[in-house]
Amino acid sequence: MKTTRRSFIQKTALLSGVFSLGFDWFESKANSGIMQQMNPALDANRFNAFLSIENTGKVILYSPNPEIGQGIKTAFPIVVAEELDVDWKQVEVRQANLDTQLFERQLTGGSGALKHSWERLRKAGATARHMLIQAAAQQWGVDASTCKTSKGFVLGPNKGQKLAYGALVDAASRLSVPTEVTYKSRADYQLIGSFVKGVDNYKVLTGKPQYGLDTQKSGMLIAQIVRPPAFGSTLVSFDAAEVKKMPGIIDVVSFKNKVAVVGKSTWEVMQARKKLVCTYSDTSNLESDSTHQKWFDEGMKTDKAKVERKDGDFHAAIAKAAKVVEATYECPFLSHTPMEPMNFFADVRPGSVLLAGPTQVPQSAQKAVATLLGVPENTVQVELTKMGGGFGRRLNNDYALEAAELSSMIKMPVKVMWTREDDMTGGIYRPAVRYHFKAGLNEKGEMIAFYLRGVGLNAGNSTRQDNFPVGAIDNVLIESFNYNSAITTGPWRAPITNFLASAEQSFLDEVAVAAGKDPIQMRLDWLQKVKTNPVGKITYEPDRFIEVIKQVAEKAKWGKKGANVHQGFSVYFSHLSYVAQIAEAKMVDGEPKVTHVTAVTDCGEVINRSGAENQVIGGIIDGYGHAMFSKLSFDKGVPQQKNFDTYKLIRGNEIPTVEAHFVNNGIAPTGLGEPALPPTGGAVANALFAATKKRLYRQPFAGPDNANL
């Protein structure tokens, strides 16, 4: 059959009793066609993302998106298995490597994978089920509409008519591909929305090799790289004479302001690295925390800020306000600190490059390496490994480029391995940001003017100018200003909104107190206005906002928990999902302690309830821990925190209980990996204010800036 790259059903084959149904993950429309015989080697070459049914009845799904712990490798096959109507025990999922001919958006980031592939996955499963029914109906001589399926079997209209999918693959492979199929009713779902164990759980728990650090290749060397101690320093010279004499050391080479120690084993390289003597010079003014504070002060006063949104006349409205509320919030740089430090394997040879490792953006890695080496992209192969966390850090491929460049220099396959100290001091970090808010209230306590300025360091636009409460306020002015810093930054979990939401929701709580209004009712009133008389551009759905707010108030018993339970509310829209949270704090021995968080999330259809709950609970714990404890500071360009002894993450005994609920609305899935984190800082800050009557304006909340808490 003639096909195009965007046809839904691209290829099918009868390969030694295997019915392979290929499908495009990026186009849900099906083309009619006749299955054709194919070369079995195409299967090994991952000719497309495809569903395979063996004659044993086992279903195999190749998942193109990198697995970073977000559970996509489990969620994708759940959708296919549901529409295929197969027993989950018959399903096997395998990780696909990078293939730019067959896949698009083969990445992990922005909570977009399920939203993007939902319709394609349903179509794949439903199409296969339809063809298997057709094959069975022909064999029995009955109308296909009288047949149904159940857990990997086709059931006929007559007593005893039952055939396993595996027994039908031969006949099904010879049928025309349907142009239209019918999906299951939500009422008939057996897998979607249920609790399903992660497909890699057993491997994780038993330590099976699957992460980048587990990569082993023939002839592979190990390398660690010494980078300048300060952002802004330049390598002048290094003395490797003694290092090269040490056991197992193959070479010491420099490139791009770095020095790499290459050897036969990790331990030998680590010991040799300690003996390496490097000399650096400072080529620019090195930045300290005081530098950044000066920039923030200047950025708040500059007349060169960019106007991101302007509704009405803020200045005229604020001048007429009966009451003005304003506050400034600030967050520090943060390290991503994934459990698995950065690492990557590269084998650069004439005419080919093999890469392997944990990257959230394999195609970007391929392009960057091809550009670096001056080779065609199609000569660069990328094998994907499971990632031991990333949180946005692995959206940057600096460590993959290091491996590729080093391999090209030493003419050997090599795995570059970062230590924890490398990971924490070598960038890439969450940008530090300062926000200033101002609100004008009329005599009735209604907000008539809203202002926000964000000043960021390497943050770009540090605002989200179209987010609620914008749309409910008549006079709005939102501005941003950015400083270029030598300190390298990049996306950190829920980029920008990870702190913007905290600051914004804390400020709105302060507005509610000043207006003498309940924080929840105030937002509900605004959302009603958005429904009836919106102001300017609206990028969110007010009804979905209202629903999560009402549900969280009910489930957390807002205002009904008693005198020593102090509640703080927060709600946020990001990555197309809505999350409302209520944090609870109690006074224990004269100190406030956050004890519980209730969350209601509207992320559309919940595919795997187990994975969804873990995403929400994990996001809240992560957001709470970083808001309370974490900070990366600098002195003359040198990061002052180098490991977990000085860079604090949340400890087990500090974790509050978390209750995760979901809105059951049947809407197509939206994001879930990112949205639970942003509201947490605001809910916690508001709960701590309720307990102590002290506002928190700087993160970390448990840091020295808030010692009077």
481-532 pLDDT tens trace: 999 999 999 999 999 999 999 999 999 999 999 999 999 999 999 999 999 9
C-alpha distances (whole Å) from 214 to each of 221, 358, 404, 439 are 13, 10, 18, 53
Torsion angle, alpha carbons of 163, 166, 169, 172, to 10: 30
Under the banding of pLDDT at 50, 70 and 90, the label for residue 11 is very low
The angle at the Cα of 343, spanning 487 to 332, to the nearest 5 degrees, equals: 30
Is the distance from CB of 658 to CB of 621 less than 8 angstroms?
A: yes
Task: Return d(Cα 586, Cα 315) in angstroms, integer.
Answer: 41
Under the banding of pLDDT at 50, 70 and 90, the label for residue 93 is confident
Q: Which two tokens stand for residue 424?
A: 């924490």
Task: Return d(Cα 572, Cα 581) in angstroms, integer.
Answer: 9
Q: State residue 39's pLDDT score.
A: 28
Is the distance from CB of 129 to CB of 115 less than 8 angstroms?
A: no
% of the chain surpassing 70 pLDDT: 92
Long-range contact set of residues 94-97: C-beta below 8 Å, sequence gap at least 24: 94/60, 94/61, 94/62, 94/63, 95/62, 95/63, 95/67, 95/384, 95/386, 96/46, 96/49, 96/62, 96/63, 96/64, 96/384, 97/46, 97/362, 97/381, 97/382, 97/383, 97/384
pTM: 0.92
Q: State residue 33's pLDDT score.
A: 28
Q: State residue 631's pLDDT score.
A: 97
Tell me which residue of 555, 610, 611 sits closest to 584, measured CA to CA.
555
CA atoms within 13 A on the CB side of 157: 11
Tell me which residue of 428, 489, 426, 438 sits closest to 462, measured CA to CA.
489
Please, what is the average pLDDT of the chain?
A: 91
* DSSP state, residue 587: E
Helix (H) or strand (E) holding 137: helix 113-140
Under the banding of pLDDT at 50, 70 and 90, the label for residue 16 is very low
Task: Return d(Cα 597, Cα 567) in angstroms, integer.
Answer: 9
- By DSSP bridging, strand 447-457 and strand 475-483 are parallel
Q: State residue 174's pLDDT score.
A: 80
Under the banding of pLDDT at 50, 70 and 90, the label for residue 580 is very high
Is the distance from CB of 545 to CB of 527 less than 8 angstroms?
A: yes
Task: Return d(Cα 301, Cα 451) in angstroms, integer.
Answer: 14
C-alpha distances (whole Å) from 150 to each of 20, 59, 84, 193, 608 are 20, 15, 9, 18, 20
Tell me which residue of 676, 675, 674, 680 sits closest to 68, measured CA to CA.
674
Is the distance from CB of 177 to CB of 31 less than 8 angstroms?
A: yes
Radius of gyration of the chain from its Cα atoms, rounded to whole angstroms: 28
Q: State residue 438's pLDDT score.
A: 98
If you write DSSP's letter for every residue of 93-121 in order, what string do you get? EEE----TTT-SS----TT-HHHHHHHHH
Task: Return d(Cα 273, Cα 587) in angstroms, integer.
Answer: 49
Under the banding of pLDDT at 50, 70 and 90, the label for residue 708 is low
pLDDT greater at residue 510 or residue 3: 510
**ω into 519 cis (within 30 of 0):** no
Residue 23 in this model has a pLDDT that exceeds 50: no
Task: Return d(Cα 310, Cα 12) in angstroms, integer.
Answer: 54
Q: State residue 50's pLDDT score.
A: 56
Q: State residue 115's pLDDT score.
A: 86
Task: Return d(Cα 213, Cα 177) in angstroms, integer.
Answer: 43
Residue 2 in this model has a pLDDT that exceeds 50: no
Tell me which residue of 403, 437, 386, 502 sits closest to 94, measured CA to CA.
386
Under the banding of pLDDT at 50, 70 and 90, the label for residue 544 is very high
Is the distance from CB of 549 to CB of 508 less than 8 angstroms?
A: no
Residue 37 in this model has a pLDDT that exceeds 70: no
Q: Which two tokens stand for residue 428?
A: 């890439």
Task: Return d(Cα 162, Cα 623) in angstroms, integer.
Answer: 52
Q: What are the residue ranges of helices labelled H in 153-265?
A: 169-172, 201-206
Cβ burial of 353 (10 Å; 0-12, 13-18, 19+) is buried
